[in-house]
Structure formats: structure tokens, C-alpha cells
């Protein structure tokens, strides 16, 4: 008997791809076949997917980038991608199509409508992205990673939480060593490629910490290629040991070993922080659509697991004050770690996989 097929439509950034990868891992464990439909940009984020996942690269496009000529070609690129995705579905019909947002998901989701396949979308943030907002009224289920989620009128959501990858689940609830008179670690991450504002502010904030604290702290910081030298120089000037890189492949391990996370509040970062259970200082991206990163941070903030600093309020002085407060009060930091863990949903991938199987059963019944 042929195994049922799940087509996952995702791409654009790690924020879309990481939960998609988590679902792929779970569906493979359940005996399904999995195909990922993405575009050339999304294909750059497929390195962590299991080898059993077939990657279909199709054309797509967005009106948000490029000049006039590039924008004029977008409809034709999307149309060719839809035709290619539809043809694959005709030859090998999926039991379910699951979209995770990002414009690379457009072709497969449109093809699923044309092919009349059962379909769902998963929205990672508290505000629907443009692509998911387009498809929300046209799918069987809208799964939500953040709750509540702002949904269009007449659309109901199911709260599943944001699935985290297997290497994060391996560290779920990892024992927390609270701050004290011993070496400590800080993990500073700004999305999959780092954030310029954090590259400027974190080293400057470290320089303002009391000497007896500063010399006991080691920092792991993601920074863009263009910011590497300046960021490393800032830590060196502050006398702080630091590992600075554009991308860490072992973030779950670094997070589980640190005393504090400083991060943007992208949905995947928030999910990882809560599943592993670490105190955090969150700086929402000010230009995020619908201010969704502020919405993402609200759960951890309300649980007293995170300090949230608006981007406009972020200065080295403000950041240094919060770092010092957390790293000099071990009892309060432990409370933050426990509170983060209470917010986490390590079962999110299972709940999303259950929805996939329920949709498949409806199709076959």
C-alpha cells in the first residue's frame, strides 16, 4: 500500500521553514511520505530537512522586492510555479497540503485549491502574514502558533503552538544553571542571519557592566557578515569573550547552556526559548508586518519569563541594566526560566500532525 503523501508549502525565511521542518520530521515518523514545495530562495533553508523529504523547487515571486521590470514578471513566475505544482499533484495526489506562509508557498497552495486537495495553513505569528491571510478563507483548517491570533472575519483558528525542530526537542526542559559567581553564557540571536541593531548594542551594553560581572560572561552572537568585524571589535574592547558568527548550526545546544537569551521575537525564536526554558530579553522588530513580533513576545512577557524592550527604546544603557539585573539575581532568573518552560508547547508538532491526519481521514472516509 502506498504511503500517504503530505506536501508542505513553505519558504522565504527560517521562521517559515523551521516549523515546516518539524512537521516533516513528525510525519515521517508516522509513516508518511513528505514533499516540500518551495522556490530557489526557500531552497537555501532546506539543509536541516531529513534526507527522505523530496524538495520540489518551483517558480514564485513577490511584489515587495525588485524594480518595475521584476514586478511585471511576478504574475508569470507565479503562474508557471502553479502549473508545475499542479502537474505534480495530478501525477502523485497528496493526501493533504500544508502551507506555512511566505511567498514561496503560493504556487503549491494555489495548485492545491485547483486540484481540490485537503489543505491547511499554519501561521507562526500572532498576526497573519500576507500569504496566509490570502489563503485563510480557502483552507480546511487554520492552525495558529501564537494565541490569540488576529484572523479574518469568519475564520476560526486552532491553537497548536509553533512546532520546534527535533534538535530543539532534544533539549526541551534542559536543566538551568542559574546565574552566580561562576562563568556564565549569553546567547544573542537576531533571526537566521543576525540583526544589525543587536550587533551594535550588545557589545556596547557589555562594556557598561560591572567589571566583576563582565569578566565572567561569554557571549555567542549571530551577526551579519557586514557587521562581523565591528561586533568582534566591540567585544574585544569591552574585554568580553565572544563567539561571533553569521549563523550557528548548534543554537539549541548554546541556548540550553546559557543563562540568558537576547533575541528578536520571531515566532520560532520565541518557541525555542519557551520549549528549552530560558530567561530572555526580547527586542521586537519594529517594521514587522502588523507589529507581529510584539504580539509574539506577549506570552513570555505576561508570564514574567521575558523582558521586552521596544526597538525605539533600545540603548546600551537600557540593555546593560536588564542584563545586570538578571545575571545578579539567580532566584529571579530561575523563576524566569521556569515561567518560560510553562509557556512552551513541545507537543506542537504532534498536534499539527494530528490535524493533518484528521484531514486525510476526512478525504478517505
> Would you call the peptide bond into 237 cis, given omega within 30 degrees of 0 as the criterion?
no
Whether residues 151 and 188 fall in one domain: no
The CATH number assigned to the domain holding 34 equals 3.40.50.2000
pLDDT given for residue 365 in this prediction? 46
- Specify whether 64 is located in the same domain as 92: yes
Distance CA 293, CA 287 (A): 9
What does pTM read for this prediction? 0.90
321 and 277 in a common domain: yes
Mean pLDDT of the chain: 92
Q: Are residues 142 and 187 in the same domain?
A: no
Q: How many CB atoms lie within 10 A of CB 178?
A: 18
Strand-by-strand arrangement of the 5-9 sheet: 54-57, 33-38, 5-9, 96-99, 119-123, 141-144, 157-159
The verdict on 76 and 107 lying in the same domain is yes
Helix (H, G, I), strand (E, B) or coil at 308: strand
CA 288 to chain CA centroid, nearest Å: 14
Q: Could you tell me if 65 and 126 lie in one domain?
A: yes
102 Rama sector, left if φ>0, alpha if ψ -120 to 50, beta otherwise: left
Question: pLDDT (tens digit, 9 = 90+) per residue, 190-228?
Answer: 865 568 999 999 999 999 999 999 999 999 999 999 999
CA–CA dist 73, 68 (Å, integer): 9
Distance CA 221, CA 245 (A): 7
Q: Do 187 and 284 fall within a single domain? A: yes
Quick one: which of 126, 158, 154, 128 has its CA closest to 141?
A: 158
Q: Please check whether residues 46 and 80 belong to one and the same domain.
A: yes
Count: domains in the chain: 2
Pair 153, 247 in one domain: no
Q: Note whether 334 and 200 are same-domain residues.
A: yes
CA 88 to CA 56: how far, in whole Å? 9
Residue written as grid cell 513566475: 77
Owning domain of residue 92: 5-163+347-364
Reduced to 3 states, what is the DSSP secondary structure of residue 285? coil
Strands 280-282, 260-263: parallel, antiparallel or unpaired by DSSP?
Answer: parallel
User: Is there a single domain that holds both residue 153 and residue 257?
Assistant: no
Q: Examine the domain organization and report whether 149 and 177 are in the same domain.
A: no
Task: Give tens-digit pLDDT for 88-141.
Answer: 999 999 999 999 998 889 999 999 999 999 999 999 999 999 999 999 999 999
From residue 295, give the alpha-carbon distance in Å to each of 147, 195, 269, 338: 9, 19, 13, 21
Give pLDDT tens digits for 44-95.
Answer: 778 889 999 999 988 666 655 555 555 566 676 778 889 999 999 999 999 9
Amino acid at each position: 500500500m502506498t504511503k500517504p503523501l503530505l506536501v508542505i508549502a513553505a519558504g522565504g525565511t527560517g521562521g517559515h521553514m523551521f516549523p515546516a521542518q518539524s512537521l516533516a520530521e513528525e510525519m515521517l515518523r508516522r509513516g508518511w511520505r513528505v514533499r516540500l514545495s518551495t522556490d530557489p530562495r526557500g531552497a537555501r533553508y532546506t539543509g536541516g530537512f531529513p534526507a527522505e523529504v523530496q524538495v520540489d523547487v518551483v517558480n514564485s515571486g513577490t511584489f515587495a522586492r525588485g524594480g518595475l521590470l521584476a514586478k511585471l514578471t511576478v504574475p508569470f513566475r507565479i503562474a508557471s510555479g502553479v502549473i508545475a505544482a499542479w502537474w505534480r499533484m495530478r501525477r502523485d495526489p497528496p493526501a493533504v497540503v500544508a502551507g506555512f506562509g511566505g511567498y514561496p508557498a503560493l504556487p503549491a497552495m494555489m495548485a492545491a485549491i485547483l486540484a481540490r486537495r485537503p489543505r491547511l495553513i499554519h501561521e507562526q505569528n500572532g498576526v497573519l502574514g500576507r500569504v496566509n491571510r490570502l489563503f485563510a478563507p480557502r483552507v480546511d483548517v487554520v492552525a495558529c502558533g501564537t494565541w490569540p491570533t488576529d484572523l479574518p472575519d469568519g475564520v476560526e483558528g486552532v491553537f497548536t503552538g509553533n512546532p520546534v525542530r527535533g534538535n530543539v526537542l532534544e533539549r526541551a526542559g534542559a536543566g538551568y544553571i542559574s546565574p552566580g559567581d561562576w562563568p556564565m553564557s549569553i546567547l544573542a540571536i537576531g533571526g537566521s542571519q543576525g540583526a544589525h541593531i543587536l550587533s551594535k548594542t550588545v557589545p556596547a551594553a557589555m562594556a557598561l557592566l560591572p567589571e566583576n560581572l563582565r569578566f565572567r560572561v561569554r557571549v555567542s552572537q549571530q551577526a551579519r557578515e557586514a557587521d562581523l568585524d565591528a561586533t568582534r571589535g566591540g567585544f574585544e574592547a569591552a574585554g568580553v569573550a565572544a563567539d561571533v558568527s553569521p549563523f550557528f548550526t548548534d543554537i539549541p545546544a548554546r541556548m540550553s547552556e546559557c543563562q540568558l537569551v537576547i533575541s528578536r521575537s520571531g515566532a520560532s525564536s520565541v518557541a525555542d526559548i519557551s520549549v528549552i526554558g530560558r530567561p530572555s530579553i526580547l527586542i521586537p522588530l519594529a517594521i514587522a508586518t502588523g507589529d507581529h513580533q510584539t504580539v509574539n513576545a506577549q506570552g513570555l512577557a505576561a508570564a514574567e519569563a521575558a523582558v521586552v524592550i521596544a526597538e525605539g527604546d533600545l540603548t546600551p544603557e537600557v540593555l546593560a541594566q536588564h542584563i545586570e539585573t538578571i545575571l545578579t539575581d539567580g532566584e529571579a532568573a530561575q523563576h524566569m526560566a521556569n515561567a518560560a518552560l510553562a509557556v512552551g508547547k513541545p507537543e506542537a508538532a504532534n498536534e499539527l500532525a494530528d490535524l493533518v491526519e484528521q484531514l486525510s481521514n476526512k478525504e478517505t472516509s
